[in-house]
Chain A
């Protein structure tokens, strides 16, 4: 602090001296480069903050005195200093090739110049990453890399984020990009605990090239994260503080009908879940069960818009972090970080608290460099128990459905918040448990501890040879408890005993992953023009997973949650898994001059999860890159600034779809009768081909990178990448015929071919020192076609949805294809009905659409004015469908708008024809339900029966335009900061998932993204949510 004060004082004095004593004169001139005048060049008087910048014609004027030195600097050019000797100084700046060719950290820590990279990649630097002050490093990547998607496939306290690059490449295996932090294999979860301020850069390797060296872990692309290592050149500490508060709210709820209320079969039933009552008439009726005093509550019988919304809270997420950095690699550096998060979810009384500590340190001692990283995260959650209890046989006193699903059933006339007393006697229906009771009495407590330790030793034998040894261990320990209190139904209201048994369960799992690399690097300049680099290495991974679950019903002493207090026979089970791989790899890089590069790799993997005879597999890759603008003289101009062409062939192998423990056909303990002395094992329901092999992916990739109009950096960039892949021996978990003795089989399935195209157009229409506007439009498409299934079948099911809907691989068709039941139709497309007017289900299963978008358009807009930054990210995807489980549920409950068709009176099925008649049908649909004295029973019968059995009715257009992120931030100008002894003060406001535009067919049933890659969506923990964040960032 003393030192800092002294510095400020000196600066202050210098300023005064400067102001009072200087003899000023005017200096003018023109700054140009090889192509002509250069606008926006910084012209500063050395040792001061005083200066200007060149205008559009490259001219400048500055007040200075003779003897001063002018510093001319501009991004991408070598800085020039000139002592003032006359009052006109013209300067020509030269492009700094070295500066442009900053090295990029690529796979296994190998540093390369961008030109040498033969696969599609994109680097995101710290300032770009932090432009929106997003507190989460994973979310901060969103929209900044073409082809990169961050899909949030669920909501709740710990939403599931999946990072995919170029869509889903493997049909059933791993599709999440590998995250590597400081050359250590890590996970998206660890990345999101990192303070984004501590990140120096992220290199996103989109192509299959990542797998060439990382093996199966990198088969879906790799994101290489490099954190800051101390501070460049200064022996001091810098401190960074960051605080953010995020507000979360429900984004949208399904649109429901507003005409019929609570009831069943066309009668008002004031304790029912269904919305099959009479039309709303505004009359006052009693709703639900009586309150604690035994009084029924009366409400008008009319629709309440979004009546379940009051159940949810506004979520708050408060995040504070401090990071301290000091030193450098030569003198020894240390980075320390602490992050604290306090989150209240949108489900009332759901909480998460997280503490994260990290320490990075390293030092170079002679030829040896040592680096180490230690991270510890502790996360505690206290949430409503939203999952089904892990009970092997049906515990039919307790429905295992999600809170949101139960709420969504609520008829439209029920004011949900009027039943919030928390007693299970106090509910709007007798057919379900009160969600307010569940909130208070059925809790899941979680504690997750992540320990992440890694070390790296580098030994530089000489200028040409170095060796690196890296080792890391990551241990994730999850300790969960379910605590449910009992409810004794003393009223046995009407005819149901709704008693609930108390329950306690502990669920502990441990996931330990160790990863080690030994790598030797060679680096030679073979001739004046030819460079040679090579690496050979060995890699070991070991993953061990174990889980133990113990629990039981009926606590002797209420509220005493301990296994010893369980009076029922406890239920317990254990699971252990292990997976080990060994990889040996080699790589050769050859460079010719500075414009032609060749890269070759080879890797052999040995994988423990494969049968012994198939454990070993080898895969090579070769890539080339060429820079015409450097190779061909005269090609490069101010307009055509740069071109790079690269192409690669990569073969990769993986067995990620194969779980450990699967190869032997194992038996499970499906019924267990403790105390009887009997062993009761049976074959499990899934089988693995005893000769299963790894998958191979052969991919060809071509990339073109162009830069145009170089005026203080390229103004237009075009990056295009096309790839074609042939996957053989895909490992698929198919739904097999039960007649095989097994319901699922994991087999190698034929061949698929994939094509992808990504075009990314970047433009910067304005760029001055103060103002910059840039944007990006990306187009990407990814298709997989099934070329062959198996010798015996042209069709297999790979994902089994509810009922008959499923995702299939069908020969000659796109993958995945949704198939399910559909209406039987005649040649004219009319629905065939029987003599009773009932639509007929077509025999077998029909193709209902595909789940992969035809294309995705990404939009990003960035603006910068002085300290202000604005960024927006949006995308649009279309051409695909999804199956809406929510629509299915709501329609059988009488909640969807379509259930009000023809006022729920018997109707002629639209556009239908009687079987074999060839003419339009005029028969009114008469259902099997007993209409008795309620005319609406036909509609009830139809929507809970035939309509519900036809999957086609729930296939929904998955088109969506999503405004994913909008952010604005402001950096307090440096001159104010100096007074406050700060180096940075930034305030940012951002919003995520702000607006989703869905087609009229999707009446806000769900976010199509929640349907995952197979296009089948059910209820999440909560409806989709949106977020607003305010963040303050202080550095000194």
Chain B
């Protein structure tokens, strides 16, 4: 009996201890101690990082591969023996620029998170509208560089770890629709966007203009395909009609979350191609120079922008020249018109592009207006963005108007560069190629594949492949993480497997 009593006693002590433990909140220690729960963050808390990081990938990776494949850049061989080694030898594989896909999807997912937010009773419509526009802006590049891609099933975390691929044409049409949706949902009663909008500082009219311009770009990309695809033809015609009278961007679209010349705060383009806060030139900057084609195109037309896009290479005995891709030469360095400063705002769309897009749409008959006037405005905007210095190499804040006018007049009848040289479309596209160099590099490559302009872009030396690559290959992460859905590709696909709008 005594034995039983002991057992009872001890068991009850155990039970008591246990109940104390289980009743208390002993185990509730894993709610975010120092991390923020993503679902609970309001759009204002997410949108700064979302804008800054996607722009960083845009300027460093898309820009870089585009400037190379679009033959604006070349490697400065004498700064580094294997400068742009992979690019110059077209080493296309599923690890080649796979971070374009990986980072773009990752950062676009922040816009998707903002769109889905319902953590409080506020509508956040303006932030959500901006997120939709930026999502369309960046997602277009996924399609333009990869073709079919997960879209409707994407951004769903563990709910769908193996998203199916959508047809690239369908994605395009949905991106256009989502911009309309964004513009329609903008709302003056929404939560204040203000300083968290590091693009337009909360000015929703500018977001509308930006949305319209992104939509314009999507549509212009489809114009050539429209000739052979009735669905696209109808779609393009209808959507262009809706853009009639729309406002497009009238100034460079830039972001600036507070770039400064200190660590981790530098303008990301400057950070990679410029100088460290201790003013040490970066290795990447040292090995980047103009292609022989790009340099000669501007040099032969006495384009004053040449010395703004490029400058003498101070570590290479002031070389001021271009070099063929995959060559072994010495080249100039990125110029001050692009490398504007560690604290400078980062452009994601230049106003010149807006004018050239409009000019092309008008020239192709999809929109009304004067293509020549828009062309001139585009060139003027490009001069404006780059800034011009006079012959004494003194920076000037105000561009003498006659410099631009003079240039436009001089090249007016130039076969490649002038509106009246016989190929107005070619001139528009070639001028756009010049204007977007080193800023929106992806456009150089994509638009070349769409239109074939600028004509005669050379292949890198010794390349045995038949043409400039037409796409990027699906990344390694899809073969490891989504192998049942991703299409299998070989290196050859980079040269033959065209994006749906590519009828060239």
Q: How far is the CB of B287 from chain A (nearest CB, A)?
A: 10
Q: B284 — nearest CB in chain A belongs to which residue?
A: A396
From known contacts A569-B263, A606-B22, infer whether A797 and B481 are also in contact, taking CB-CB under 8 Å. Answer: yes
Per-position contact with A for B357-397: 1 when CB-CB < 8 Å, else 0? Answer: 00000000000000000000000000000000000000000
Q: Is B95 within 8 A of A949, CB to CB? A: yes
Tell me, yes or no, whether B217 is within 8 Å of chain A by CB.
Answer: no
CA distance A819 to B33 in the complex (A): 38
Stretch in A433-441, A595-603, A677-685, A968-976 with 4+ CB within 8 Å of B: A677-685
Tell me, yes or no, whether A739 is within 8 Å of chain B by CB.
Answer: yes
Stretch in A96-104, A105-113, A840-848 with 4+ CB within 8 Å of B: A840-848
Number of A interface residues at 8 Å Cβ cutoff, please give it.
Answer: 126
Q: Is B36 within 8 A of A538, CB to CB? A: no
Q: Which of B27, B82, B106, B154 contacts A606 (CB 8 A)?
A: B27
Residues of B within 8 A of A741 (CB): 105-106, 108-109, 112-113, 154-157
Q: How far is the CB of B323 from chain A (nearest CB, A)?
A: 12
Q: Is B280 within 8 A of A688, CB to CB? A: no
Interface hits, B91-145 → A, CB 8 Å: 91, 93-95, 101-103, 105-110, 112-113
CA distance A300 to B380 in the complex (A): 61
Q: Is A678 within 8 A of B195, CB to CB? A: yes
Q: Is B35 within 8 A of A668, CB to CB? A: yes
Interface-centre pick from B26, B461, B483 (highest chain A CB count, 10 A):
B483
Tell me, yes or no, whether A552 is within 8 Å of chain B by CB.
Answer: yes
CA distance A299 to B445 in the complex (A): 48
Residues of B within 8 A of A552 (CB): 263
Tell me, yes or no, whether B298 is within 8 Å of chain A by CB.
Answer: no
Per-position contact with B for A346-387: 1 when CB-CB < 8 Å, else 0? Answer: 000000000000000000000000000000000000000000
Q: Is B89 within 8 A of A929, CB to CB? A: yes
Q: Is A673 within 8 A of B258, CB to CB? A: yes
Q: A948 — nearest CB in chain B belongs to which residue?
A: B91
How would you classify the secondary structure of chain B's contact residues: helix, strand, loop or mixed? loop
Interface hits, A808-837 → B, CB 8 Å: 808, 819, 821, 824, 834, 836
Q: B112 — nearest CB in chain A belongs to which residue?
A: A741
Q: Is B278 within 8 A of A926, CB to CB? A: no
Q: B46 — nearest CB in chain A belongs to which residue?
A: A681
CA distance A952 to B38 in the complex (A): 40
CA distance A790 to B284 in the complex (A): 43
Q: Is A682 within 8 A of B46, CB to CB? A: yes
Q: Is B18 within 8 A of A492, CB to CB? A: no
Residues of A within 8 A of B53 (CB): 670-671, 682
Residues of B within 8 A of A540 (CB): 21, 26
Stretch in A75-83, A210-218, A457-465 with 4+ CB within 8 Å of B: A457-465
Q: Is A928 within 8 A of B277, CB to CB? A: no
Q: Is B271 within 8 A of A393, CB to CB? A: yes
Q: How far is the CB of A1007 from chain B (nearest CB, A)?
A: 27
Interface hits, A925-947 → B, CB 8 Å: 926-932, 941, 944-946
From known contacts A582-B21, A737-B163, infer whether A667 and B29 are also in contact, taking CB-CB under 8 Å. Answer: no
Interface-centre pick from A394, A740, A945, A949 (highest chain B CB count, 10 A):
A740
Q: How far is the CB of A944 from chain B (nearest CB, A)?
A: 7
Tell me, yes or no, whether B170 is within 8 Å of chain A by CB.
Answer: no
Residues of A within 8 A of B3 (CB): 462, 464-465
Q: Is B278 within 8 A of A501, CB to CB? A: yes
From known contacts A676-B257, A804-B94, infer whether A737 and B49 are also in contact, taking CB-CB under 8 Å. Answer: no
Q: Is A681 within 8 A of B30, CB to CB? A: no
CA distance A687 to B481 in the complex (A): 14
Q: Which of A393, A522, A739, A821 contacts B150 (CB 8 A)?
A: A739
Interface hits, B432-455 → A, CB 8 Å: none
How would you classify the secondary structure of chain A's contact residues: helix, strand, loop or mixed? loop
CA distance A615 to B26 in the complex (A): 12
Q: How far is the CB of B87 from chain A (nearest CB, A)?
A: 11
Interface-centre pick from A495, A672, A735, A743 (highest chain B CB count, 10 A):
A495
Residues of B within 8 A of A265 (CB): 81, 328
Tell me, yes or no, whether B189 is within 8 Å of chain A by CB.
Answer: no
Q: Is B264 within 8 A of A569, CB to CB? A: yes
Q: Is B277 within 8 A of A553, CB to CB? A: yes
Tell me, yes or no, whether A660 is within 8 Å of chain B by CB.
Answer: yes
Tell me, yes or no, whether A734 is within 8 Å of chain B by CB.
Answer: yes
Interface-centre pick from A265, A568, A741, A742 (highest chain B CB count, 10 A):
A741
Q: Is B7 within 8 A of A736, CB to CB? A: no
Stretch in A145-153, A573-581, A878-886, A958-966 with 4+ CB within 8 Å of B: A573-581
CA distance A61 to B40 in the complex (A): 90
Interface hits, B1-60 → A, CB 8 Å: 3, 6-7, 10-11, 14, 17-18, 21-22, 26-39, 41, 44-46, 48-50, 52-53, 56
CA distance A542 to B81 in the complex (A): 55
A-B pairs with beta carbons under 8 A, tally: 346
Tell me, yes or no, whether A624 is within 8 Å of chain B by CB.
Answer: no
Q: Is B157 within 8 A of A743, CB to CB? A: no
Q: Which of A667, A673, A794 contacts B35 (CB 8 A)?
A: A667
Q: Is B480 within 8 A of A845, CB to CB? A: yes
Q: Is B85 within 8 A of A681, CB to CB? A: no
CA distance A496 to B478 in the complex (A): 38
Q: Is A571 within 8 A of B263, CB to CB? A: yes
Residues of A within 8 A of B460 (CB): 928
CA distance A301 to B334 in the complex (A): 38
Interface-centre pick from A462, A465, A665, A747 (highest chain B CB count, 10 A):
A665
Tell me, yes or no, whether B282 is within 8 Å of chain A by CB.
Answer: yes
CA distance A676 to B463 in the complex (A): 48
Tell me, yes or no, whether B173 is within 8 Å of chain A by CB.
Answer: no
Tell me, yes or no, whether B161 is within 8 Å of chain A by CB.
Answer: yes
Q: How far is the CB of B208 from chain A (nearest CB, A)?
A: 24
Q: Is A844 within 8 A of B262, CB to CB? A: no
Tell me, yes or no, whether B242 is within 8 Å of chain A by CB.
Answer: no
Residues of B within 8 A of A577 (CB): 33
Per-position contact with A for B317-328: 1 when CB-CB < 8 Å, else 0? Answer: 000000000111
Q: How far is the CB of B59 from chain A (nearest CB, A)?
A: 13
From known contacts A393-B271, A464-B3, A682-B53, infer whether A747 and B161 are also in contact, taking CB-CB under 8 Å. Answer: yes
CA distance A675 to B195 in the complex (A): 13
Tell me, yes or no, whether A497 is within 8 Å of chain B by CB.
Answer: yes
Q: B475 — nearest CB in chain A belongs to which residue?
A: A738
Q: Is A824 within 8 A of B93, CB to CB? A: no
Tell me, yes or no, whether A793 is within 8 Å of chain B by CB.
Answer: yes
Q: Is A682 within 8 A of B107, CB to CB? A: yes
Tell me, yes or no, whether B78 is within 8 Å of chain A by CB.
Answer: yes
Residues of A within 8 A of B462 (CB): 927-931
Q: Is A396 within 8 A of B272, CB to CB? A: yes
Tell me, yes or no, whether B198 is within 8 Å of chain A by CB.
Answer: yes
Tell me, yes or no, whether B233 is within 8 Å of chain A by CB.
Answer: no
Per-position contact with A for B472-488: 1 when CB-CB < 8 Å, else 0? Answer: 00011111111111001
Q: Which of A462, A678, A949 contacts B196 (CB 8 A)?
A: A678
The chain B residues found within 8 Å of chain A, CB to CB, are 3, 6-7, 10-11, 14, 17-18, 21-22, 26-39, 41, 44-46, 48-50, 52-53, 56, 78-82, 85-86, 89-91, 93-95, 101-103, 105-110, 112-113, 149-150, 153-158, 160-163, 195-196, 198, 257-259, 262-265, 271-272, 276-278, 280-284, 286, 315-316, 326-328, 460-464, 475-485, 488-492
Q: What are the nearest 6 A-B pairs in CB distance? A: A741-B109, A676-B258, A737-B482, A680-B49, A666-B35, A843-B488
Known pairs A664-B32, A679-B49, A738-B101 / 13 extra A-B pairs, C-beta < 8 Å: A397-B282, A496-B286, A520-B11, A578-B29, A664-B31, A668-B35, A670-B49, A680-B48, A689-B158, A735-B477, A824-B490, A836-B464, A926-B464
Instruction: Sample 13 A-B pairs with CB under 8 A, ordered by A number.
Output: A264-B82, A392-B264, A666-B37, A672-B264, A678-B198, A679-B196, A681-B41, A688-B158, A737-B161, A740-B155, A792-B484, A928-B326, A946-B91
The chain A residues found within 8 Å of chain B, CB to CB, are 264-265, 269, 272, 274, 391-397, 431, 461-462, 464-465, 467, 492, 495-497, 499, 501, 518, 520, 522, 536-538, 540, 552-554, 568-569, 571, 574-580, 582, 584, 606-609, 615, 660-661, 663-683, 685, 687-690, 734-743, 745, 747, 790, 792-797, 800, 803-804, 806, 808, 819, 821, 824, 834, 836, 840-845, 926-932, 941, 944-946, 949
